[in-house]
A and B are shown apart, each in its own frame.
Chain A
Amino acid sequence: MIGTTPATYAPEAVRKRLQGKRFDAKGFAFSACLLAALLITVTLLAVLLYDVINGGWSVLTSRPIEFLTGSLSSAAADAGIGQGLRGTFFIAVFVILVAFPIGIGAAIYLEEYAPSTRLTRLIDVNIRNLAGVPSVVYGLLGFAIFVKALGSFTGPDANGRTVISAGLTLAILVLPIVIITSAEAIRAVPDSLREAGFGVGATRWEVIRSHVLPYAGPGILTGTVLALARALGEAAPLILVGATTGFLSGGDSYNLASLQGRFTAMPMVIYNWTGRPQPGFETATAAAIVVLLAVVLVANATAILLRNRYEKRR
């Protein structure tokens, strides 16, 4: 770089050289493209939100209670999402009761107990790959296992096409996500903390319970909430396990014994209404989407904020 060596060290000349080129066109163009990519993505999100809120606003303001509690109907003006919310609620219960304990338990085993053997590595790789299996394939699994094979248990009168089948299917669907995110949170616990526990004569479980889990708690919570949100938004597996796409008579679904009866859930309601040609369903769909988004995005946002908060504190 001999050419750039200043011929003179007069302050003015040096200052000029240090200023360099005023405008770096290539750099500017590059960063502008990158920023554009980001802004387009964010704008699309904004347009989407505007589109559905704008579309569903009239329904949500004109008949909010009827809409939130009403039953499915072939007339858009009467249609409500009560049955969908109920199904989604029970799916959440199944995910929380099945996927969370098994997922967190598996994560604890992999991070705290597992010796580094072939089997452990196999389980690890396997979980990673399970997380990438398309949801519709899980639907097929649920169909084959819970609807066909175990139908007499999940719903003898409904051919197994019940919220039990759906809940178990979605619990299995999000299990790998729960495991991976929990394992990450547990891995972030410093080893010095474990050593401190072992150093005073605690067993593995005592160290985990008293020190590892409390420390990893916020991270695990974030992961599980994200997984729950994912489960609540899935529609494809529900189609496969046979959520009702038509409409449910009130008596069929509103008594609790009908956990073993026909069911529907929010994403299915939306899918079903999207395809309806009758006028008025587009606004009803938009309104249903606003409700689903409110549930899912609030859960997501809470989880993400919670995580960022704790990350900063450490």
Chain B
Amino acid sequence: MPPEARTKRPTAGSGIPASRANVARPVARRGGDPASSSPVFRLDDLSVYYGSFKAVRNVSMSIPQQQITAFIGPSGCGKTTLLRCLNRMNDLVDIARVEGKVLYHGVDLYDEQVNPVEVRRRIGMVFQKPNPFPKSIYDNITFGPKVAGVKGNLEEIVERSLRRAALWDEVKDRLKDSAMGLSGGQQQRLCIARALAVDPEVILMDEPCSALDPIATGRIEDLMEEIKTDYTIVIVTHNMQQAARVSDMCAFFTAEINEHSDTRTGILVEFDRTETMFSNPQDERTENYVTGRFG
């Protein structure tokens, strides 16, 4: 595959919500060297276990702010596992356990005092298969703000979130209809809108387009491009072109076979700017993977 990663240009903050319009945006930070911008996440020697099985080991990396970071790698190398550590979604799996640190703006997410519910409000998630609640479009969006105790104007939140997710025009006349009646692509955009409605800082996306056709995929990619001015996005994808198209930073994982047991543990091979990853990877395994010679 030709390295066709586009260089990211900082776009003007056109669609910034009113609440944040007055915040000075350090433009130089975006698209620049990740090391220089203060990271949103710092993973410090992170290992994840399911029971006694080590799914991912010794991952250290910094995820920069207001950029799109892509996780790529072969199936089963622990991308989903790692992603779900970033908002403590793995707490829902009984046997899951982490070692090492996940620092979110310097705060250890796995600190005793930290409440996972609060974490997930700030770090939203979009799942592989669109999973709208079997309720109305309106209720889908308002559920998050309601449980977070937002007293303000819910209609406004609904409209703003749907506009941001580029879904408003398609559904504005049927907000009270069931979300299950939407097409797959619309459902996924609704899920993104639902995540945006609680005003998170980070949005984690686990293969958000894998259940969608190319046109719907294109719309979601445009949407990510559009909202990254306000959000930090981490996306898992199997689609190399997608990673190249949308991401600023790219992490390649692979699974190494454990010597004594017949299991595989995921490791981080390389993490760099997307252009570098696709044009001039440092590691041979990365090169093989991105050029399609893997396995």
Contact between A202 and B195 (Cβ–Cβ < 8 Å)?
no
Complex: how many Å from CA A215 to CA B118? 25
Complex Cα–Cα for A195 and B129 (A): 11
Q: Does A11 contact B (CB under 8 A)?
A: no
Determine if B120 and A192 form an interchain contact, defined as CB atoms under 8 angstroms apart.
no
Instruction: Give B148-174 as 1s and 0s: 1 = Cβ < 8 Å from A's Cβ atoms.
Output: 100000000000000000000000000
Give Cα A206 to B126, complex, Å: 19
Q: Which of B94, B118, B127, B134 contacts A199 (CB 8 A)?
A: B127
Chain A residues numbered 184-234 whose CB sits less than 8 Å from any CB in chain B? 190, 192-203, 206, 210-211, 215
Within 8 A of B (CB), among A110-124: 115-116
Closest A residue to B191 by beta carbon equals A196
Contact of B144 among A115, A116, A202, A215 (CB under 8 A): A202
| B132 A200 Cβ-Cβ under 8 A | no
Q: In the complex, are the beta carbons of A201 and B133 less than 8 A apart?
A: no
Known contacts A115-B94, A196-B133: A201-B127 contact under CB 8 Å: no
**Least CB distance, A196 to chain B, in whole angstroms:** 4
B94 engages A200 (CB within 8 Å): no
Q: Which residue of B lies closest to A206 (CB)?
A: B147
Give min CB distance, A101 to chain B, whole Å: 24
Binary interface profile of B, 80-96, with partner A (CB < 8 Å = 1, else 0)?
Answer: 00000001010010100
Task: Decide if A200 touches B120 in the complex (CB within 8 Å).
Answer: yes
Q: A286 to chain B: closest CB distance in Å?
A: 47
Q: Residue of B at shortest CB range from A196?
A: B131
Interchain CB contact under 8 A, B117 and A215: no
Given contacts A196-B133, A196-B191, A211-B133, contact A201 B89 (CB under 8 A): no
Contact of A201 with B144 in the complex, beta carbons under 8 Å: yes
B124 within 8 A of A: yes
Residues 141-157 of A at the B interface (beta carbon under 8 Å) = none
CB-CB contacts below 8 Å: B100-150 with A: 117-118, 120-122, 124-127, 129, 131-134, 143-144, 147-148
Cβ contact within 8 Å between A196 and B132? yes
Q: Is the CB of B144 within 8 A of A200?
A: yes
Docked CA distance A59–B37 (Å)? 90
A203 in contact with B117 (CB, 8 Å): yes
Given contacts A203-B117, A211-B133, A215-B134, contact A197 B127 (CB under 8 A): no
Query: What chain B residues lie within 8 Å of A200 (beta carbons)?
Result: 120-121, 124, 143-144, 147, 194-195, 197-198
- Complex Cα distance A211/B143, Å? 10
State A215–B147 Cα separation when bound (angstroms). 19
* Given A116-B94, A195-B89, A195-B92: A201 and B131 interface contact (C-beta under 8 Å): no
List A contacts of B92 (CB < 8 A).
194-195, 198
Contact partner of A202 (CB less than 8 A), chosen from B122, B126, B147, B191, is B147
Least CB separation from B91: chain A residue:
A198
Question: Are the C-beta atoms of B120 and A201 separated by less than 8 Å?
Answer: yes
B89-A199 in contact (CB<8A): yes
Name 23 interchain pairs, CB-CB below 8 A, sorted by A: A115-B94, A116-B94, A193-B134, A195-B89, A195-B127, A195-B131, A196-B132, A199-B87, A199-B89, A199-B120, A199-B124, A199-B127, A200-B147, A200-B194, A200-B197, A201-B121, A201-B124, A201-B198, A202-B147, A203-B117, A210-B133, A210-B143, A210-B147
> Contacts A116-B94, A193-B131, A211-B133: A198 and B147 contacting too (C-beta < 8 A)?
no
Q: Which of A116, A196, A197, A200 has the most CB of B within 10 A?
A: A200
Q: Determine the chain B residues whose CB is within 8 A of the CB of A210 once the complex forms.
A: 133, 143, 147
Residues of B close to A202: CB separation below 8 A: 117, 143-144, 147
Q: What separation, in Å, do the CA atoms of A206 and B144 have in the docked complex?
A: 10
A196–B191 alpha-carbon span in the complex (Å): 8
Q: Note all chain A residues with C-beta closer than 8 A to B144.
A: 200-202
Q: How far is the CB of A110 from chain B (nearest CB, A)?
A: 13
Residues of B within 8 A of A116 (CB): 94
Is B129 touching A192 in the complex (CB atoms < 8 A)? yes
A199 touches B147 (CB 8 A): no
Q: Taking CB as reference atom, which chain A residue is nearest B121?
A: A201
Across chains A and B, which 8 residue pairs bring their CB atoms closest together, nearest first? A201-B121, A200-B144, A192-B131, A199-B125, A196-B131, A201-B120, A202-B147, A206-B147
Write the nearest CB–CB distance from B130 to chain A, whole angstroms: 9
Supplied contacts A199-B126, A201-B198, A202-B144, 11 more A-B pairs, CB within 8 Å: A192-B131, A196-B131, A196-B132, A199-B124, A200-B120, A200-B194, A200-B197, A201-B120, A202-B117, A203-B117, A203-B147
**Per-position 1/0 for A163-203, Cβ under 8 A of B:** 00000000000000000000000000010111111111111
Chain A min CB distance to B133 (Å): 6
A196 to B92, CA, bound (A): 12
Contact yes or no, B133 A199, CB < 8 A: no
Roughly how many angstroms separate A116 CA and B117 CA in the complex, as a whole number? 21
Residue of B nearest to A211 (CB): B133
Beta-carbon contact of B191 and A201 below 8 Å: no
Cα distance A200–B190 when bound, in Å? 13
How far is it, in angstroms, between the C-alpha of A195 and the C-alpha of B195 when the chains are bound?
Answer: 12
Per the bound structure, the CA–CA distance linking A202 and B191 in Å amounts to 15
- Please name all residues of chain A whose beta carbon is closer than 8 Å to the beta carbon of B118 when the two chains form the complex: 201
Q: A192-B127, A192-B131, A193-B131 are known contacts. Are A198 and B120 too (CB-CB below 8 A)? A: yes
Query: Residues of B contacting A206 with CB < 8 Å?
Result: 147
Which B residues are CB-close (under 8 A) to A198?
89, 92, 117, 120
- Rounded to whole Å, the gap between the CB of B198 and the closest CB of chain A is 5
Complex Cα distance, B126 from A215, in Å, reads 21
User: What CA separation (Å) do A294 and B132 show in the bound complex?
Assistant: 42
